[in-house]
């Protein structure tokens, strides 16, 4: 398993990372300042990590979606073994804010450093994890090499490999292969993902199919719906350029319901307002403390931590990141709430989830602005179909309600 690193590829990787250092340091500083998180920049540079009296079990989730998906597993493990020290790391300041608001008392959050060898070495020396559990496809060559040298076993959970990763340059795929050969176990979300890990360089002895842990986040209590005083349709987790397409589709319906847009990255607010200015819509903005009234046509929900509550209150949910080629967003969340869900054609990052919901007739997939407009109209005019679509979606999700236990059955062997 501890194959010699591909030296030329590793040298190229470290050189590129070194060249990017000034930009990355500036970006970390800007992100920390934006979220008023003093620890963000220093920890991303490998400084100021917490110390533990006993070596922790360390979980890593890259951003908000992965943190939310991991939370039920962390909560269950913490209840089972309250004396076991647990550390959760993530990469983004927004995920840090979500983690700190949701983590059980006693579970520590920190930021994983950028994959500079020195920064990663300081992180591992400071925190001294006994086991690393990595969500999805975070393959960092320096981190995996240091964990291998320090005999810290690594397990990948909810493992997935994108087409983009498989098509990476040969030198980068060599590094991915080396990372996988330094991994104790790969727990994949589907048979297709397992096969992709094998293609990338994992061995069949390492790989098991367990299932998609993102189903686990959906089995708890539903949030209280956000009441805006009017019926509303939600466009959730929209991406750059997508709001313009959604507005065109919505205006073509001629409907009087309120349209709520919740962008994936709230910091894009100024760009969104500039893009939509030509439509001259009466608009209110949640981050400014504004509430919609009877004449409001568009409500921008540019806040963190409220998305599922907006989903719970919506009549119809369009899941963004799918009308533009960004790979989609997690369509399981509104499906679990029994909502009528519409999505666009671009779901490369959620192809497994989309396949299950399409198979269960629990989602409508459109391929154009015109198709989105028609889907909005159909579902808003036909309450019976809207309800049936939501119930089929909820039933599909319910078939995977034991996902936390599936993962814990495997992880208990290593804890």
CATH hierarchy code of domain 53-212+402-411: 3.40.50.11720
pLDDT value at position 217?
Answer: 64
Write out pLDDT tens, residues 38-76.
999 999 999 999 999 999 999 999 998 899 889 999 999
Closest CA to 52 of 112, 105, 124, 113: 124
CA 6 – CA 8 distance, rounded (Å): 6
Q: How far is CA 118 from CA 84, 142, 160, 371, 413, in A?
A: 28, 9, 28, 51, 32
Which is more confidently placed, 21 or 222? 21
Whether residue 306 has pLDDT greater than 50 = yes
Residues of the chain with CATH 3.40.50.11720: 53-212+402-411
Q: How confident is the model at residue 5 (pLDDT cuts 50, 70, 90)?
A: low
Residue 66 appears among annotated catalytic residues: yes
pLDDT at 269 over 60: yes
Q: Which of 66, 243, 333, 353 is catalytic?
A: 66
253 has pLDDT over 70: yes
Vertex 129: Cα angle to 69 and 43 (nearest 5): 75
pLDDT digits (tens, 9 = 90+) for 104-132: 998 999 999 999 999 999 999 999 999 99
Q: In 105-250, which ranges are E strands?
A: 108-111, 131-135, 154-159, 185-188, 207-209, 232-238
Domain with CATH 3.40.50.2000 in the chain: 232-398
Q: For 232-398, CATH number? A: 3.40.50.2000
Instruction: Report CA 221 to chain centroid distance, whole Å.
Output: 20
Global pTM reads: 0.81
């Amino acid at each position: 398993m501890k194959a010699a690193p591909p030296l030329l590829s590793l040298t190229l990787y470290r050189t590129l990372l070194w060249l990017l250092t000034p930009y990355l340091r500036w970006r970390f500083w800007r992100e920390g300042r934006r979220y008023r998180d003093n620890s963000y920049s220093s920890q991303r540079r490998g400084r100021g990590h917490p110390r533990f009296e006993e070596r922790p079990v360390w979980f890593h989730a890259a951003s908000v979606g992965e943190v939310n998906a991991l939370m039920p597993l962390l909560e269950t493990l913490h209840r089972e073994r309250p004396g076991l020290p647990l550390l959760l790391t993530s990469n983004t300041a927004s995920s840090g804010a979500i983690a700190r608001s949701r983590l059980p008392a006693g579970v520590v959050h920190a930021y994983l450093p950028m994959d500079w060898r020195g920064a990663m070495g300081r992180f591992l020396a400071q925190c001294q994890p006994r086991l690393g559990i990595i969500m999805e496809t975070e393959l960092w060559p320096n981190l995996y090499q240091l964990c291998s040298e320090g005999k810290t076993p690594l397990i990948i959970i909810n493992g997935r490999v994108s087409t983009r990763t498989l098509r990476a340059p040969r030198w980068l795929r060599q590094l991915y292969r080396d990372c996988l050969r330094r991994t104790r176990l790969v727990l994949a979300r589907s048979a297709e993902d397992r096969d992709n890990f094998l293609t990338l360089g994992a061995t069949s002895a390492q790989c098991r199919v367990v299932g998609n842990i993102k189903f686990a986040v959906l089995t708890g209590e539903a949030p209280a719906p956000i009441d805006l005083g009017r019926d509303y349709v939600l466009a959730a987790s929209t991406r750059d350029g997508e709001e313009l397409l959604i507005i065109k589709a919505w205006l073509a319906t001629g409907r009087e319901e309120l349209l709520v847009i919740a962008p994936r990255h709230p910091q894009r607010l100024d760009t969104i307002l500039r893009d939509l200015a030509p439509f001259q819509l009466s608009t209110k903005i949640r981050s400014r403390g504004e509430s919609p009234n009877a004449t409001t046509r568009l409500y921008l929900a540019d806040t963190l931590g409220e998305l599922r509550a907006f989903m719970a209150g919506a009549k119809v949910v369009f899941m963004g990141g799918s009308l533009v080629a960004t790979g989609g967003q997690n369509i399981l969340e509104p499906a679990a709430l029994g909502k009528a869900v519409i999505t666009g054609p671009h779901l490369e990052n959620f192809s497994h989830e989309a396949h299950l919901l399409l198979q269960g007739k629990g989602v409508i997939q459109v391929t154009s602005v015109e198709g989105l407009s028609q889907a909005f109209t159909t579902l808003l005019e036909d309450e019976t179909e809207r309800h049936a679509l939501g119930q089929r979606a909820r039933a599909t999700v319910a078939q995977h309600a034991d996902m936390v236990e599936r993962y814990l059955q495997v992880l208990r062997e290593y804890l």
